[in-house]
Chains A and B, each alone.
Chain A
Amino acid sequence: MRATRIFTTLLRYRVASLILVAFVTALAASQLPKLEIDNSNEAFFMTGDPTKQRLDQFKETFGNDDFVFILIDVEDAFAPATLQRLAEFADRLEMEVPHLLDLTWIGNVEWIEGVPGGIVIDDLVPDFNLPTAELQQLRQKAINDPLYRDRLVASDGQTVGILMEFENYPDIGIDPRKDVPPVILQLVDEFEDLDSHVVGGPISDYVMDEKTAVEAPVWAGAALLGMCVVLMFTTRSAVGVLVPAATVILSVVWTMGLFAFVGFRLNLLVILVPTLLLCVGIGDTMHVVAEFKQAMREGKARRDSLLHTLELVSRPILLTTVTTAVGFLAFTLTDLIPLVQLGMQATTGVFVAFLLTYLFAVPLLSFGKAHVQSRSGQRGDIFDRLLNATAESVSRNKPAYGVVFAVATVIALIGVTRLEIETNTIQDLPVDDPLRAAFEYVDDNMGGSMSLEFVIDSGRENGIKDRQLLTQVEALQQFLDAHPLVTQTSSVLDQLKQMNRAVRENDADAYVLPDTSNQVAEYLLLYESGGGSQLESYVAFTYDQLRVQARTKSLVMADIGRLQADVDEFLAEQFAAEATVYSTGTLAMFVRLADLVAIGQGRSFLFALVAVTIIMMLLLRSVRLGAIAMVPNVLPVAFALGAMGWAGAQLNMIGLVLAPMIIGVAVDDTVHFFVRYRRYYGELQDYDLAYKQTMRTVGRPLLFTTLVLVVGFGGFSISDFAGPRNFSWASMTAFSSALLAEFLLVPVLLAWLKPLGRKQTAPAAGAIEPV
């Protein structure tokens, strides 16, 4: 009664409601330009995350670890004309790139060398116009020096690197880090005669952001278009297409506007939200429109049709809204910021879609002719024939369907075990993508594009000048050097050995650590006074910590894990110094991300599973029925992840969204199916008959909403990134298999397990509703 009053009031104030919707929409739309995209890896971590804290601490100690590396192919790096041109390029970069702290290339690096009675500290190339023979000598010097070989000049002298390091970005502007790449890329274009390849964190994040910004509207557009086509095909009416589409578009605008206002940033995950909302938010309005049209067809007046519809569908769509929201809410239990944000936004979005169904779709449907020409409710089209045939077949061949699902489930579970986690975003790009190609170029020609950083903390001021500690660090560095996955290492030990050699008048045998702690201290003093550009990067301000950098190629997750495990084993067994060692840097972040993805996947799946199961048990007022109802929701998770495993696709951040989302969305069908099934069983007291009647009534809308979902999620397949593509295929697999499980497996389980008790009486003839 109370609900009827609300619905009547809603229809009375329909114009006011539409004006309110228009006003809020304008307000939300005005906020949309504020939306920012941020795909940086660090943006994934919570403030209190230990990995993030270590990285922040690392930056505090050794400066910003962000860098951009430009590799340039040349015939001879030390030809005067080449040096001049490179110098012009380096000079322009130095003058124009914002937040630049240091730019290093062979044309401006220092050279420390011992001579009889003295030490020469000078530029490696003091003059670009030296005679060719002298320049070739310098070339050999640079290539022979581990400080520069495969860092600033390739071993063959045909690739040079320009390394740009940045100050700790100021706390001003929206994101100062984003100012860097456009200037660099513009200059690379300007110096087009130099064959340049650009890599580095700011560049890859920028390129990803750009790609994401281009792709997101394409996904949403494709999803919307596909859904409209399906709606047109299934409803064959303009209202059936326009009202759900408009409602769901408004839901997206409201939700995104709200979060733009709050200041959330978009990333590769959150940017899924608009398309996600289009797909999951459309169901509410589709059910309203379907029931409303049916009532009109039956000859009811427009207003009465709407009131009838609202009374019939309000409870189920509220329920499905809650269950979908629970699925998305599960993401807030993870420790990854984008997932938490996605959870909050998608949860808000499904409620907004529910709200707009009442504030927008219903008032809109209330306008028009009071009556339409009555048509027979009998359709009997291909969909009905298909559903009837399916119901007949399942009723007759229960064991066969049971076996097929059992086998399919086993195959899927084996597939799940083959699934690998991958959080290295570069691996997400197609092989021929220019950014990925640039990373691979650095991997092949300049010693690797990634690094794992080890910080050795002595715990006391000047502690790292201790000769014994340095011996241990040298062992660690040698271990890393010998590791097949490490391309090269660097630390202050390199400078100390260089100083020791210089003090000993360039005796090659003196490229070893100084003998005593005092010598270490004195050489460090000389090194820092003589220029010492590298010191700040490798030694903490108070000489309590030092850093060892291990460079690697762009590794896949499994290799990163192997390297980390090997180093951990070495540290546990052989590192005997009184110092703590921790790892950080990009690779450590990928490892942590993979851990968080695995933990988050498990935690959010469990939450969604338990919460939705409880809701279903309460709704169906039966533990056994509620448990059976979860089968068509859990199996699709196994099918989707299993399909990914068999296809060799990797599970990344986006894949983490899958399991809880599948449960939250697939359960909508289950709610409609089981509520009807229970009602018909009560009337008919026969499992098969109740099933057939359920198929005849809700089979059709369930088939259509699933079609819309599958087509909508297909929108993500138009992506350059492997993540959204895999997500698309996995979702389509999941929602299709959810419907198949609902239609083909659930009746088998219900008939076998009889959760509603034994058949009591024979059904009354004619109790089955006609199709």
Chain B
Amino acid sequence: MFKTKYVMATVSLIAALHSHAQMPTGRDIAQRMDDVNSAQDGTRDATMLIERGGQKLQRKLNMMNKKFGDDERSIIRFIEPADVRDTQFLSWTYEATEKDDDMWVFFPSENLIRRISGGGKKGSFMRSDFANEDIEQRAVDDDVHMLLEESEWGNVAVFVIESVPIPAKAKDSNYAKRKTWVDKETWLALKVEYYDRRGRLLKQMTQGGIEQIDGIWTATKIIMETPRKKSRTLMQYANVRYNLGLQDSVFEQSSLKR
């Protein structure tokens, strides 16, 4: 009897030590999330439905992106509303935390390109519940990540991590902290809670419609809610395609006018 108990205890201890050894760090998880989209480039159409106080707005846009080593370049072209059709934003995002991103805007009515420097990340994206920083790819080391717990969310096994911006990036962010529920299987965020400096919940994002497209796990429906504004935005992706072999020149300023 004593022997059995001894063996069981030993086995449990070894199992616990083993599992601890296997347990990824917060940064590991963030890196795995960053690696999910392994495609070199991609394109998608996005439709945003914004609901606020009984009023609804619909926005349509097309997004393209391409990796340049550790860096990434993307273009957002607006389709609706009609009065801003073909207005485009070109962004160059750098992995190096000390380097500021570059951005250009193209105004079709004047056929004019202007470089935008400085802030803007905190601004609202087309009056939706998304901020510009929510749309952009965030470099892994822009935040310090900590694993909080292993848990379940809607019958899915998840890691829950907390991400706090590094001091150099804190000024450019609306959030003092993000708490993310990460699917252990797909490494996609299922839910993200955004907190302000006072620890108040600002917004909450949930992702769904998860499917494998060209072998890459992709969330095709995202809901972002801002309870204090009684506002929510549904972002829906369609025509998602990866690895199209997009030319580098597509992501140059000169191509915006084409």
By a beta-carbon cutoff of 8 Å, the part of chain A in contact with chain B is: 60, 94-95, 101, 110, 117-123, 167-168, 461-462, 465, 503, 516-519, 521-522, 525-526, 528-533, 535-536, 541-542
Contact = CB atoms under 8 A, between A and B. Distances in A.
Interface in B39-84: 50, 52-53, 55, 57, 78, 81, 83-84
Contact of B55 (A117, A123, A541): A541
A121 B116 contact: yes
Contacts of B122: 531
A519 B120 contact: no
Interface string B88-114: 010000000000000001011110101
Contact of B123 (A94, A462, A530): A530
B197 A95 contact: yes
A528 B53 contact: no
A119 B126 contact: no
Contacts of B50: 541
Given A462-B81, A529-B123, A120 B117 contact: yes
B204 interface: no
A298 to B, nearest CB: 75
A167 B231 CA distance: 13
26 contacts: A60-B53, A94-B197, A118-B115, A119-B117, A121-B116, A121-B119, A123-B119, A167-B228, A461-B57, A462-B81, A465-B83, A503-B112, A503-B114, A516-B109, A518-B109, A521-B83, A525-B84, A529-B89, A529-B123, A530-B120, A530-B123, A531-B120, A532-B124, A541-B50, A541-B127, A542-B57
B227 to A, nearest CB: 10
A530 B107 CA distance: 14
B176 to A, nearest CB: 11
Nearest to B122: A531
Contacts of B207: none
A545 to B, nearest CB: 11
Contact of A529 (B109, B115, B132): B132
B83 A531 contact: no
B117 A521 contact: no
Contact of B120 (A503, A529, A535): A529
A117 B107 contact: no
A542 B115 contact: no
Nearest to B123: A531
B116 A118 contact: yes
Interface in B174-198: 197-198
A541 B110 CA distance: 26
A110 B115 contact: no
Given A60-B53, A95-B197, A462-B81, A528 B124 contact: yes
Contact of A118 (B55, B117, B229): B117
B125 interface: yes
A83 to B, nearest CB: 16
A541 B109 CA distance: 23
Interface string B141-168: 0000000000000000000000000000
B218 interface: no
B195 to A, nearest CB: 13
A117 B119 contact: no
A519 B109 CA distance: 6
Nearest to A60: B53
B58 to A, nearest CB: 10
A582 B209 CA distance: 45
Contacts of B132: 529
B118 interface: yes
**B-side binding surface: helix, strand, loop or mixed?**
mixed
Nearest to A465: B83
Contact of A542 (B55, B105, B108, B229): B55
A165 to B, nearest CB: 13
Contact of A526 (B55, B105, B228): B105
Given A122-B118, A531-B123, A541-B50, 5 more contacts: A118-B115, A529-B89, A529-B120, A536-B124, A541-B127
B83 A503 contact: no
A532 B132 CA distance: 12
A74 to B, nearest CB: 24
A120 B103 CA distance: 11
A536 B52 CA distance: 12
B131 to A, nearest CB: 10
Contacts of A525: 78, 84, 87, 126
Given A95-B197, A462-B81, A530 B124 contact: no
B114 A541 contact: no
A536 B228 CA distance: 14
Contact of B109 (A118, A522, A531, A532): A522
A104 to B, nearest CB: 14
Contacts of A533: 123
Interface string B3-45: 0000000000000000000000000000000000000000000
A541 B226 CA distance: 15
B127 A121 contact: no
Contacts of B105: 119, 526
Contacts of A522: 83-84, 87, 107-109
A736 to B, nearest CB: 56
A60 B53 CA distance: 7
A121 B109 contact: no
Contacts of B115: 117-119
Contacts of B78: 525
Chain B CB within 10 Å, residue with most, of A101, A530, A533: A530
A536 B50 CA distance: 14
Contacts of A530: 116, 119-120, 123
Nearest to B89: A529
Nearest to B229: A167
A516 B84 CA distance: 12
B107 A503 contact: yes
Contacts of A462: 81, 83
Contacts of A121: 116-120
A521 B84 CA distance: 6
Nearest to A113: B118
Contacts of B126: 525, 528-529
Nearest to B51: A541
Contacts of A532: 123-124
A123 B171 CA distance: 11
A442 B126 CA distance: 36
A568 to B, nearest CB: 29
Contacts of B230: 168
B52 to A, nearest CB: 5
Contacts of A516: 109
A565 B51 CA distance: 38
A707 B126 CA distance: 71
The 5 closest A-B CB pairs, nearest first, are A118-B115, A122-B118, A521-B83, A518-B109, A530-B120
Contacts of A118: 114-117
A390 B67 CA distance: 106
Nearest to A94: B197
Contacts of A60: 53
B208 to A, nearest CB: 25
A518 B87 CA distance: 10
A133 to B, nearest CB: 21
A521 B81 contact: yes
A682 B89 CA distance: 99
A530 B197 CA distance: 22
Contacts of B109: 516, 518-519, 522
Nearest to A523: B107
Nearest to A97: B198
B244 to A, nearest CB: 26
A655 B89 CA distance: 62
A517 B81 CA distance: 13
A325 B197 CA distance: 56
Contacts of A521: 81, 83-84
A117 B124 CA distance: 24
A519 B230 CA distance: 31
A462 B117 CA distance: 28
A119 B229 CA distance: 30
Contacts of B52: 541
A123 B127 CA distance: 21
